[in-house]
Each structure stands twice: as structure tokens, then as C-alpha cells.
Amino acid sequence: MGLERIEPLDWRYSAAIVGLKEYLTWCGASNWKLQDEYLEYNPESITESDYLKFVEQKYSEDMHHVLVEELLLEEEPSEEQIKLINEKLTANTVLKKIFGKIKYDGTNREQIQKLIEENREEIVKETYRNKVNLYRNYCNTNQLFEPGKNCCRLLGYYVDLPKKGKSISYNFDMANFVYEDTPIFDFIPFAFCGERDFYFINDNVDLRELVKTNKILQDKIKKARENARQEGKTIDSRQIFFQTIIESKDFMYHDIEIIHKNVEKTHFETVYLSKKSLDILQKLNGEKTDKKPYKAFCFKIKINDNYYLDVFKETMNCIVNLILTDEWINYLLKNNANGNYTYVLYQLIKVNLWIKEDADMEAGNKRAYGCAKAVAKKKDKVPDNKLISFRQKLTSALTFEDYDRFCDILLNLSNYADEPFDFAYDLFEDFEKNKELAYTFVTALRRDNKNVEETKV
């Protein structure tokens, strides 16, 4: 049989190429070739048996029988180990069918191992096919290993043709229904990585770079998962994904397409990351290796018993969609009485400036910062209670968007402290355009606290 060629016609084929390349490398296939614009392979290299062996190796942590085999190696298993083995032997439907009438008692190790060997392919196939974070997260479970059908096997693309075929066809004529399905799509799950939130980066200008980029993401998530397991924690796939992009200066240079699949959703989501958004994210990595500005956002704030504000998630959403972070700056300003959010606020203000692409305001921000610190130093003229009072009034005016009142309070403070505010002219001229000057001034209007991390803007 001759070689077949796959080209990255859309993200589905790009993901299939990444997954198939990983499989071909694993099984030691020789007759295949990855070029900038296509992957050539021998279809005979793909067998159901090898596919399932690859699945068992790649997703070993999701395979209950793999842990059972490890525990069976214990010559003198403890009661806890025996209990765990029996729990795993009935952990899903296929295992219940095989081991439902058998219990491990510490002496029948060979019997259990023999049943695993005899039913290994069925166990792997059914576990992989039905586990919510594996094949079932991406495709119609009935189409695993099936040839190309009359509709795409991917979730969100699949259609129940007998019920809905006519309604989605042009002019209600099934002859006009357009579909695209191929067994190669069974390799798409291998291209995604994560935990509950799964990601694939479709950076397909060069297929070799595409493979490299997604391999870097997979390695980072794998390492994070290992560290989390040692610490008894769970990982945040979204956070790791964006950290990878933030630290991607050496291998991401242009607009990219991001495919996201959450286990609770029945469809894929696509995010287009513009070059401008990518540049902003990469700036958050900082110039110094020992200080990463993006880490300032890696925390959550408890709003009530049922809701936590994920600062990292909301900040990333703003950057991806090029939306100013005003909503979160206002919230943190109102809750920054003790100065705990000061450093975070400075970073959010920087994000706003990068989104606006206003280099002039960066210089203005330094002046606003300097004026605030000059006032803070005048403890004789502006005692602590007065400084706090002015800051609270300015914060209130900002968050309620009462800009005239803000300017009035600013003038009063200037007179009270006998300190000129040269940055204020920009606010008087166009407050909305130059709002970051106000944010910076209010954030910096506090006396240094050794317990609070402060960084000059």
C-alpha cells in the first residue's frame, strides 16, 4: 500500500497530524515523513492493537488495571492494598463485567493477572472510549475505529442524521448535506493536553513547529501534574496553558488559533490569539528571570461561599480579547486598604497601557507615581488618617466614575499637601483616555509598608 498524505486543512487535521506523529514515533514506524506542510504515512502502520497499546501507555494514570498490576507485584500486600485492588477491579463497567464475581484476597494474584492479560485490549478500549476525559471528551464513542461515516465523529460536528439530517441540509435536501469524517480523527485526542480543561495550539504555519509547540505544552502539564501529585494538589490547566504562552518568546511569533475542550461541554471552543495579545502576554514574563510579573495574578479571591474570583483567568480573558482591566482594577482598589493588592494593581495598570499602546502615558504614570510618593513622604502635612481619607475618597470617585469629583479631590489634596501634580492636566483634558494616571496615583498614595511588596511603575 502506498503512502497517504494529510495536510492541515483546518484545526482538526492539524490536531490529527500531531496525534498521529506521536503514535508513529512511539510504535517505531519507519515509512512516514513530516514536512512543513504535510505528513505522509503508511496506513498499514495503524492497527487497532497498536493503537490500544499506545493508549494504555499514554493514559496509564487513567487505566485502573495498570495500578492493579503494580499492586499485584507486592509479595505481602497490606489490607489497604487489597482493598484498593478490589475497588479498582470494579471501577468501571468493563472491569465489573470481567471481575464482578472475583475478589482479590492476597493469594489469587495469578488469577487476576491472567484475566487482565486475556482481556487487556477490551479493558483499554472500553476505558478509553467511555472515560469522560479521554475519547468521550472529543468524539462520538460509537465511531472509534470506524471508517469514515456520513458525519464527522467529533463532538459539536456530529449530527444524528435520521433525526436532523434534512433540517441542516440546504433546501432540506439530504443530497446537499456536506460532511467530513476520517478514521484519522481518532488521533485528535492525543494532541490535546490538560485536566478537565484541554488545549491544542494550532500554530500550523510550519507543521514541525506545530508539533514542537504542543510538545512543550504537554511536557509542562506533565511536570505540573507530577509536582501536584507529590504535594497532594490538583493542577489548573488553564493557568499552565497561559504560562506556556507567556514564556513562549522563543517559539511563538504570530497570530495563533487555540482549541479548548472542557469535559462538561459537548463542543469545542476556538480562541484566536492576535499578535498584539501574544506580545502583551509575553511581556508578562518580565525581563528578569527571578521575577515573573504574571505570577502576581495567580490567586483567587473569595467573594462568597459559592464563588471565588479567579484573577488569573479574568486577566487572561481581558488580554485575549483586548479588553481593559478596569473592572478588576476598581474591585481591587476598593479592597486594597491594607495594601495587599498594590503590586497586582500595578501589573493590571501596565496591561491597560499595553492594550492602549500609549507610550506617552507610561511616562505620565511615572510622574503620577512620583507625585503620590511625594505626598506620602510629607507626614507632618498629611498625617496617616488624612492620607487614608483622601485615598478612600479618590477610590470612591474612581469606582463610581465620578471624574469631576475625583479632580476636585485631587486639587484639594494638592493644596493641602502643598505639592504640585503636573500629571493632573492630562486628566482634566480627557479623564477617560488617561484613567491609568488616576489608577496609578491612588494605588501609590500610601506610605511604604515593609510587609507589602511594592514595585515602581
Which of 134, 159, 186 finishes a domain? 186
For residue 192, CA distances in Å to 17, 75, 444 come to 12, 38, 43
The reply to whether 303 and 398 lie within a common domain is: yes
The whole-number pLDDT of residue 254 equals 87
Q: How far apart are the first and last CA of the chain?
A: 64
- Ramachandran assignment for 339, one of left (phi > 0), alpha (psi -120 to 50 degrees), beta (any other): left
Which of 153, 171, 186 finishes a domain? 186
Alpha carbon distance 265, 261 (integer Å): 7
What's this model's pTM, rounded to 2 decimal places? 0.85
Domain extent for 275: 191-292
Alpha carbon distance 159, 97 (integer Å): 31
Q: Which of 85, 91, 137, 133 is nearest to 111 (CA)?
A: 85
Q: Is residue 414 assigned to a domain?
A: yes
Q: Which residues of the chain have pLDDT under 50?
A: 161-178, 450-457
The reply to whether 151 and 224 lie within a common domain is: no
Q: Is residue 74 assigned to a domain?
A: yes
Q: Is residue 392 assigned to a domain?
A: yes
The reply to whether 145 and 238 lie within a common domain is: no
Q: Is residue 195 assigned to a domain?
A: yes
pLDDT digits (tens, 9 = 90+) for 304-336: 888 889 999 999 999 999 999 999 999 999 999
Three-state SS for 320-375 is: HHCCCCHHHHHHHHHCCCCCCCHHHHHHHHHHHHHHHCCHHHHHHHHHHHHHHHHH
Which of 141, 169, 186 finishes a domain? 186
pLDDT digits (tens, 9 = 90+) for 64-100: 999 999 999 998 999 999 999 999 999 999 999 999 8
The reply to whether 307 and 207 lie within a common domain is: no
The reply to whether 330 and 256 lie within a common domain is: no
Q: Is residue 27 assigned to a domain?
A: no
Q: How many domains does the chain have?
A: 3
Q: Is residue 12 assigned to a domain?
A: no
The whole-number pLDDT of residue 165 equals 46
The reply to whether 413 and 440 lie within a common domain is: yes
Helix (H, G, I), strand (E, B) or coil at 260: strand
Torsion on CA atoms 368, 374, 380, 386, rounded to nearest 10: 20
Which residues are CB-contacts of 10 (< 8 A; sequence separation ≥ 6)? Answer: none
The reply to whether 71 and 180 lie within a common domain is: yes
Q: Is residue 391 assigned to a domain?
A: yes
The reply to whether 300 and 424 lie within a common domain is: yes
The reply to whether 231 and 299 lie within a common domain is: no
The reply to whether 239 and 311 lie within a common domain is: no
The whole-number pLDDT of residue 162 equals 45
Q: Is residue 370 assigned to a domain?
A: yes
Q: What is the DSSP letter of 36?
A: S
